[in-house]
Chain A
Amino acid sequence: MTGSRTVYGSRGRPVLAGLRYRGRQGMWTWLLHRTTGLGILLFLLLHIFDIFLLGFGPDVFNHLLFIYSAWWARVLEVFLLFGVLFHALNGLRLIIQDFWPGLWRYERQMILAEAAVFVPVFLWGAYVFLLPLFD
């Protein structure tokens, strides 16, 4: 880290070191698993609410759909796709590693395999989601 200045926190510890738990891929996927989980839950609550409005008839329900037809909703849907896809694949990796604990030693390789599935599927999905914007 030559040339970069270290920023110290109030306890005399480098701030970046304080933010790190154990570092490496395992920590970042753990953090991403939590944040994507929270994001999906937030969307799920909104989604349950908008479907609940079906009970008030077509006028109320169709009127509310403007939320989902906006262009920025399309972009948010790509975020949702990112969250669901990552959470699903990362969760599957954790389940596999829990069933065959020997695989925890190869966590780095497992995460690479996960990324190899995630990246193409996400890119294809994002393309499908955003395509109507350019019609």
Chain B
Amino acid sequence: MSNQAIEAFGRRRGRPPNSNFELYSWFFMRISGVILLGLAVFHLFWMHAVIGVDQIDFDVVAQRWTNPLWRLYDLFLLAFALTHGMNGLRIIVDDYVHKAGWLTAVKAVLFVIFAAFLGMGAYIIVTFTPVASTPAAAL
């Protein structure tokens, strides 16, 4: 690909031609991918094979989150998985949406969804305190 074509591609994405954003994005997908290979697969295995999905209810989660390390684990899992997934969706959108205006609009919506769900997830992981009806799980 000629430099001209690369620059045109960069302009289409509304970034300066010398921006390293896509390089960092590529690198982030690899790093977070390796991290998620551990975090997400272990989470899936633990919840299904060790605890069992039919066993999970409010008390089980409350009990789990009495240990701050599990909260930290879940916070990392949330941040890496959501950022990895939404960045992947951004790359897919780049492939299929070609009009500059639509591209901006779709990406703006993606960013709002990303920020809202990251906020929701982080909020509950950090601030969750079991209510009085479950004394066994009190912090």
A positions within 8 Å CB-CB of B: 34, 37-38, 40-41, 44-45, 48-49, 51-52, 54-55, 57-58, 61-62, 65, 68-69, 73-74, 77, 80-81, 84-85, 88, 91-92, 95, 98, 125, 128-129, 132
Contacts and interface: CB of A to CB of B under 8 A. Distances in A.
Nearest to A89: B37
Contact of A98 (B30, B41, B89, B92): B30
* SS of A interface (majority): helix
B117 A54 contact: no
Contact of B124 (A34, A45, A54, A85): A54
A57 B57 contact: no
B61 interface: yes
Contact of A41 (B36, B37, B89, B123): B89
Interface in B20-56: 30, 33-34, 36-37, 40-41, 44-45, 48-49, 52-54, 56
**Across the A-B interface, the 5 shortest Cβ-Cβ residue pairs:** A58-B58, A41-B85, A48-B121, A91-B33, A52-B120
Contacts of B33: 88, 91-92, 95
A61 B57 contact: yes
A92 B29 CA distance: 11
B128 interface: yes
B58 A88 contact: no
A37 B131 CA distance: 36
B36 A62 contact: no
B86 A41 contact: yes
B81 interface: yes
A68 B57 CA distance: 10
Given A51-B124, A52-B120, A52-B121, 20 more contacts: A37-B85, A37-B88, A41-B85, A44-B82, A49-B120, A51-B61, A54-B62, A55-B128, A57-B58, A57-B131, A58-B58, A61-B58, A62-B57, A68-B53, A73-B53, A74-B53, A91-B37, A95-B34, A132-B52, A132-B54
Among B48, B49, B62: residue with most chain A CB under 10 A? B48
A44 B81 contact: yes
Contacts of B53: 68-69, 73-74, 77
